[in-house]
Amino acid sequence: METMRETAGVTLRAIVRYVRARGGDGAVRLMLGLAGETEPPEAYDDPRRWWPYATKVNVLEAAAKVLGDPAVGLHVGQSILSYNRGHPLRLGLLLLGGPAQLLRLSTSMSARLNATGEMRTMSSGRGTATVRFQLRDGYRPSRFDCDYTRGLLTQLPVLYGRAAATVAHDECQVNGAEACIYTVRWRRRRWLRRAAEPVEDAVGDVLAGQIEQLQRTVADLVAAERPERALAVVAERAGPAVDAEAFLLVAAPAPGAPRQVHGFGLSDSEIDVLAASPPTSFAGTLVVDIASPNRYYGYLVAFCRDFRDAERRLLEAYAGLAAVALDGLGALEAAADRQHTAESLLSLARTLTVARTADEVADVTAEAVRTVMAADSATVVLLERDRLRVAANAGGGDERERQARRLAISRADTALFERFQAGSGAARVYDRDSTDLFILGLLDTFGHDAMVMVDIARPGHPYGLLVAAYDTPQDKARMREIAGRMAGVADQAANALRTCELLEADRRAAHVDALTGLAGRRAFLAALDLALGSGDGAVLLIDLDGFRAVNDSLGHAAGDELLAAVAARLGAGIRPGDVVARLGGDEFAVLAHGPGGQAGDGDLAGRVEACFADPVTVLGGTPVEVRASVGGTRFARGEESRVVLHRAGAAMHDAKRHAVAVRPRQ
């Protein structure tokens, strides 16, 4: 327990409230300042706390100065019942039956308020008792503390609805006596029936106070928006409700969540030791589980020298309130989590509809997985040319992502490759116990301890892997939940990647000639527009002469072979950076950049003419002589493409009038 557990918090609360009632908040602040106290006033209004004996004495002395009342200790003792309505100690005292019975238990009663001395009843009779209190060695006797004890003793009959007692302080330790001796006298009731009525009223008043406290606790639990706050409320209220000297609450608000530990009356080291081991019931402790029909959350432990049965039931009530509140908040959090997941998946679906490349799909998918799965990082690994590469990462940091992107995983690197290509579709969970070097390398690269991996695939078509990684191991239930959610995200990613494949096929069909592999008309026009915006150059248009005759005499297969051969020669004959395109039919074009690509440049013209110098062999042995009409024009930056193409076309048609037809060699 705490090293300075000497004076119960109800005493300091009574002093503060008494001074506040007579001098206001300013008097309280002045009193605490004179006493050398540095904590805020509300700290002294906490009945859970225990204080040093010196704090009580110093605060009483300061109160006497502030109020100008040398008997302030007596008056505080006389007022204590009014400041502790509903306190469990008050209920227990009431149930003892009367002042005489109470005084017989003076040692136990005193220990609940003051641990610096021992009180015992030397004698008792009808309406009178002699009480002895001895301060232990090492503590300085104080007149104010003696007066406070006198005030408390006067209130014993008041507790049972009778007039206050008179208390004579016959001997005092302040004056050198071995102990303080108090003679207590009170008026006895003559009729039992009437005597019981005020006691019943007092018990009802105490019970009403406890019910009000429970109602406030329920209201605060309803208002709590987070499980952590609900546990803090219970920890704050349950200990004082059972008049515990010390109290500990240990509970996890949700599966896999870190435990919340709250304690008072205990040192930090004591809390650490107690929370590290399962709770144990022994003399002076009450242990109650925080549990509902749905799950076990944790436990409450209250420490005191002795407890009554009513206090156990009250502690169980607080534990039950905590469990119900946690169940409700857990259900609300689960519903909010499901809504958040649905919104995130819907947002992912919308974002994926505008993704046009595999890397764009990987980027948005990784970010979605990190959000939806509450992962520390998420990674998308894509299959390309029989290798796996890291295409995107969210949460790992720029440097770690750069390291990961340099990874290229082949079949020889990991058994994971075979399982992936087999397409089982089952989620896989890995941690530091894995023997797969690739898995361990991935964990090391991003600094994680566990990860869930799901295939991104369509039937018979694997695309890659989706990975959610965590800095700490997750429990099995959490991993199953993560894997289930990831499967849906992986399906969306696979569909988006298939869409990208189809879009790429359409793009290639529009920009790449399927027969020759050259750029198509659309790609050539786009390249020309780009060239016209950046500098000078030239355009050559090439039309094969007599190509129809080849088709008519040798067939379309021969014509296709001829076109493919011409395309290959033109592609090999141009400079790097220039563009060769098939515009359609037997018409080709060359886009040359810069002054070296002028239409009249001998080098370029010579290289194009050389493409038609030798016959082309088709159909496995038939040679075909190839001739072409070539017309070209130079262009300057800023010209319009239609004007440039018109000039080049006119030049090509002019050349065609002098052309020699393409013909098979006899």
* Higher pLDDT pick, 489 / 82: 489
Q: Is residue 356 in some structural domain? A: no
Report residue 361's pLDDT band, with 50, 70 and 90 as the boundaries. very high
461 and 577 assigned to the same domain:
no
Q: Which of 473, 400, 395 is nearest to 431 (CA)?
A: 473
Could you tell me if 147 and 270 lie in one domain?
A: no
Residue that finishes a domain, picked among 432, 465, 498: 498
| Residue 75 resides in a domain | yes
CATH of the domain at 174: 3.90.1520.10
Cβ neighbours of residue 446 closer than 8 Å, sequence gap 6 or more: 377, 379, 393, 396, 400, 404, 469
Which of the listed ranges 6-15, 107-116, 197-206, 393-402 does the model predict with the highest average pLDDT? 6-15
Tell me the pLDDT band of 400, cut-offs 50, 70 and 90: confident
pLDDT of 665 > 80? The answer is no
Mean pLDDT of 94-109: 48
Q: How far is CA 43 from the centre of its chain?
A: 32
Specify the pLDDT at position 212.
Answer: 53
- Range of the structural domain that residue 167 is part of: 7-195
Quick one: 45 and 155 in the same domain? yes
Own/partner pairs, 203-207, CB within 8 angstroms, 24+ separation: 203/91, 203/94, 203/95, 205/85, 206/85, 206/86, 206/87, 206/90, 206/91, 206/94, 207/86, 207/91
Q: What is the mean pLDDT of residues 581-606?
A: 76
As a whole number of angstroms, the distance between CA 666 and CA 220 comes to 103
Cα–Cα distance between 99 and 109 in angstroms, integer?
12
The single-letter code of the amino acid at 193 is R
Same domain flag for 229 and 190:
no
pLDDT digits (tens, 9 = 90+) for 442-464: 788 778 888 898 989 888 788 98
For 165-193, the DSSP string reads PEEEEEE-GGGT-SSEEEEEE-PPPS-HH
In angstroms, the CA 208 to CA 216 distance is 12
User: Between the CA of residue 468 and those of 393, 487, 520, 579, 661, what are the distances in Å?
Assistant: 10, 11, 42, 44, 66
Tell me the two tokens of residue 294: 């749905």
Q: What pLDDT is recorded for position 308?
A: 65
For the stretch 511-530, pLDDT in tens is 888 899 999 998 999 999 99
In Å, what is the CA distance from 431 to each residue of 222, 265, 399, 482? 39, 41, 22, 15
What is the structure's pLDDT at 516?
Answer: 92
Same domain, 189 and 252: no
**Does residue 412 register a pLDDT over 90?**
no
Among the ranges given (129-138, 460-469, 597-606, 638-647), the one the predictor scored with the smallest mean pLDDT: 597-606
Q: What is the pLDDT of residue 143?
A: 96
Residue 110: pLDDT band with limits 50, 70, 90: low
pLDDT (tens digit per residue) in 540-549: 999 998 898 8
Q: Give yes or no: residues 250 and 395 share one domain.
A: no
Query: Which of residues 194 and 507 earns the better pLDDT score?
Result: 507
Give me the pLDDT at residue 193, please: 42
Residue 515 inside a domain? The answer is: no
Does residue 55 form part of some domain?
yes
Predicted TM-score of the model (pTM): 0.46
Domain count, the chain: 4
- Whether 361 maps to a domain, the answer reads no
139-170 tens-digit pLDDT:
999 999 999 999 988 887 777 667 888 999 99
Say if residues 611 and 588 touch (Cβ distance below 8 Å). no
**Residue 417 included in any domain:** yes
Is the pLDDT at 99 greater than 60? The verdict is no
Q: What's the pLDDT at 203?
A: 41
Highest mean pLDDT among 50-59, 214-223, 612-621: 50-59
More confident residue, 250 or 405: 250
Q: Worst-scoring range by mean pLDDT, 136-140, 145-149, 300-304?
A: 300-304
Q: At residue 89, what is the residue type?
A: L
The residues pairing with 167 across neighbouring beta strands, listed in sequence order, are: 184
When pLDDT is cut at 50, 70 and 90, the band that residue 292 belongs to is: confident
The reply to whether 288 and 379 lie within a common domain is no
Is residue 350 domain-resident? no
Element housing 200 (H / E) = helix 192-223
Strand partners, 50: 8
Identify the CATH number of the domain in which residue 584 sits. 3.30.70.270
Q: How many angstroms separate the first and last alpha carbons of the chain?
A: 114
Lowest mean pLDDT among 308-317, 544-553, 576-585: 308-317
The pLDDT assigned to 258 comes to 85
Q: Are 84 and 170 in a shared domain?
A: yes
pLDDT at 92 over 80: no
Same domain for 173 and 289, yes or no, is no
Establish if 368 belongs to a structural domain.
Answer: no
Provide the pLDDT for residue 196. Answer: 43
Domain's final residue, options 498, 529, 553: 498
| Helical (H) or strand (E) element with 425 | none
Residue 293 has pLDDT above 80, yes or no: no
Indicate whether 608 and 468 sit together in one domain: no
Assign residue 386 the CATH number of its domain: 3.30.450.40
Residues 6+ positions from 650 with CB-CB distance below 8 Å? 631
Residues 24 and 173 in one domain: yes
Picking from 100, 94, 310, 80, the residue whose alpha carbon sits closest to that of residue 202 is 94
Joined tokens for residue 316? 């169980």
Write out the H or E segment, with its range, that includes residue 493: helix 476-511
Same domain assignment for residues 252 and 299: yes
